[in-house]
């Protein structure tokens, strides 16, 4: 257990957190703007103030999560904003360490079992690949890494036939970011009814909290304002990493319903992929653990391309990036390295400090970051299919998903 916690990767993440914090403190940039919004909205909820449709940080500082989410931020209000921000910063740091640790466990246990040589070095390299998104997330105080940790821990529990804790974790994640409902797809197609039931129960159970405190009338008003806020945010947000945005740049007459067409087409293709995986499992050409783990990574990574959201959500591709780095090393497929490096360059190109503001913004405005993310997803799919062919007939243990 000590070895799992006190290792080189832990020190690497700790050093990254402390260095980032020190630089932001010295430059007067330690503000955690998004966290300030969560903190103020939670304080307003407890005091009976306005939560939605009011800017807490000027400009786009509107609270857009569900009313129930504020109960997770309420404990921070015991402290003043400065102290709460520091606590939250280190909570995010722990979440980064834990998320990558769980990802490594999933890869070692289900996708590439037995290939643990240089595992911590490869994990550190994977973390380095998302460093731009790490610094941005830590600067804003957003909670995407917590969501990623919850999702990865949820699928780990499902793989270990622990539907109750897995369902609760996934339900919380869905409550925090409803577009994570996409993760229910593999559970539905695999008929994991208990996992689905616990996920829905957890999400709905937490959703009713505002109807208890502050009360039915206030709770109804909060959810009504939330719906209005989500609608306004969705209408005015370009989502520069989405395939819809990229298509709009390339096709002048791209329709407004194009994003729904892309979402539907993607869900159909992923469903076909999952059904084919199920067929292979029945023929004992692969294992349920390997297939579900990859499906989970795939769906999470696709989210920045399917919904209109901020580019920081591209952090969700971290599990696939880890998989590709581990795959290249395990199978000695080193010819993929130049391709991966090119995609990773554009994937993490939104850095004014590294590339200059004009080039960095041009890459984002042209949709090249989103396109790079999509190409990473396709590249991982090629590697996964290649691995499956190589491992055909070679069973990795019994990872059947018990109901």
Tens of pLDDT along 239-280? 889 999 999 999 989 998 999 999 999 999 999 999 999 998
Range in 53-57, 127-131, 284-288 with the lowest mean pLDDT: 284-288
Q: Contact 171/202 with Cβ under 8 angstroms?
A: yes
Query: d(Cα 194, Cα 201) in Å, to the nearest integer?
Result: 10
Mean pLDDT of 2-19: 85
- Kindly state the tokens that stand for 212: 């208890």
Give me the helices (H) in 74-192, please: 81-106, 119-129, 131-140, 144-159, 163-176, 184-189
Query: d(Cα 392, Cα 281) in Å, to the nearest integer?
Result: 11
pLDDT band of 399, cuts 50, 70, 90: very low
**Residue 27: Cβ-neighbour burial (10 angstroms; 0-12, 13-18, 19+):** exposed
Structure-token match 């067409």, residue found: 261
- Residue 9 makes CB contacts below 8 A (sequence gap 6+) with 97, 100, 101, 120, 123, 124, 127
Tens of pLDDT along 178-221? 999 999 999 999 999 999 999 999 999 999 999 998 999 999 99
Q: How confident is the model at residue 183, as a pLDDT?
A: 97
pLDDT band of 396, cuts 50, 70, 90: very low
Q: How confident is the model at residue 401, as a pLDDT?
A: 40
pLDDT band of 403, cuts 50, 70, 90: very low
Q: Angle at CA 259, nearest 5°, toward 253 and 265?
A: 110
As a whole number of angstroms, the longest Cα–Cα distance in the chain is: 62
Tens of pLDDT along 103-118? 999 999 999 876 566 7
Q: How confident is the model at residue 236, as a pLDDT?
A: 62
Closest CA to 324 of 310, 335, 314, 313: 335
Query: d(Cα 16, Cα 111) in Å, to the nearest integer?
Result: 28
| DSSP code string of 30-86 | ---HHHHHHHHHHHHHHHT---SSSBSSSTT-B--S-GGGHHHHGGGGGS-HHHHHH
Mean pLDDT of 121-138: 93
Query: What pTM, to 2 d.p., does this model score?
Result: 0.93
Helix 131-140 to helix 33-47 angle (10° resolution) is 30
Q: How confident is the model at residue 232, as a pLDDT?
A: 77
Q: pLDDT at residue 350 above 80?
A: no
Tens of pLDDT along 151-171? 999 999 999 999 999 999 999
Tens of pLDDT along 46-99? 998 999 988 887 667 889 899 999 999 999 999 999 999 999 999 999 999 999
Q: Bridge partners of 55? A: 62
pLDDT band of 7, cuts 50, 70, 90: confident
Q: What's 256's DSSP letter?
A: T
Tens of pLDDT along 308-336? 888 888 999 999 999 999 999 999 999 99
pLDDT band of 234, cuts 50, 70, 90: low
């Amino acid at each position: 257990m000590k070895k799992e916690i006190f290792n080189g990767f832990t020190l690497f993440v700790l050093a990254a957190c402390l260095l980032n914090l020190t630089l932001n403190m010295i430059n007067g940039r330690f503000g955690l703007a998004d966290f300030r919004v969560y903190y103020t909205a939670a304080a307003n909820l407890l005091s009976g103030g306005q939560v939605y449709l009011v800017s807490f940080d000027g400009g786009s500082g509107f609270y857009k999560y569900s009313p129930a989410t504020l109960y997770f931020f309420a404990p921070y209000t015991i402290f003043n904003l400065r102290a709460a921000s520091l606590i939250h910063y280190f909570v995010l740091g722990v979440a980064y360490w834990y998320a990558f640790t769980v990802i490594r466990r999933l890869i070692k246990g289900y996708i590439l079992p037995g290939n643990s040589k240089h595992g911590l070095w490869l994990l550190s390299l994977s973390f380095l690949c998302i460093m731009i998104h790490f610094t941005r997330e830590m600067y804003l105080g957003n909670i995407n890494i917590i969501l990623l940790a919850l999702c990865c821990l949820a699928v780990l529990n499902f793989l270990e036939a622990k539907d109750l804790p897995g369902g609760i974790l996934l339900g919380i994640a869905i409550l925090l970011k409803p577009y994570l409902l996409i993760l229910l797809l593999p559970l539905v197609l695999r008929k994991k009814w208990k996992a689905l039931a616990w996920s829905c129960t957890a999400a709905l159970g937490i959703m009713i909290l505002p109807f208890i405190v502050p009360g039915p009338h206030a709770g109804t008003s909060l959810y009504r304002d939330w719906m209005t806020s989500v609608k306004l945010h969705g209408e005015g947000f370009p989502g520069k990493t989405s395939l819809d945005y990229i298509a709009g740049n390339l096709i002048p007459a791209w329709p407004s319903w194009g994003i729904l067409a892309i979402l539907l087409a993607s869900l159909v293709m992923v469903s076909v992929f999952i059904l084919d995986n199920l067929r292979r499992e029945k023929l004992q050409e692969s294992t349920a653990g390997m297939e579900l783990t990859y499906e989970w990574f795939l769906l999470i990574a696709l989210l920045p391309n399917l919904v209109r959201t901020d580019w920081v959500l591209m952090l969700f591709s971290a599990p696939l990036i880890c998989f590709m780095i581990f795959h290249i090393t395990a199978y000695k497929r080193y010819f993929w390295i130049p391709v991966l490096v090119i995609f990773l360059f554009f994937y993490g190109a939104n850095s004014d400090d590294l590339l200059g503001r004009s080039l960095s913004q041009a890459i984002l405005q042209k949709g090249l970051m989103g396109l790079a993310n999509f190409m990473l997803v396709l590249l991982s799919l090629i590697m996964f299919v290649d691995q499956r062919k190589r491992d055909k007939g070679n069973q990795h243990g019994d990872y059947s998903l018990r109901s």
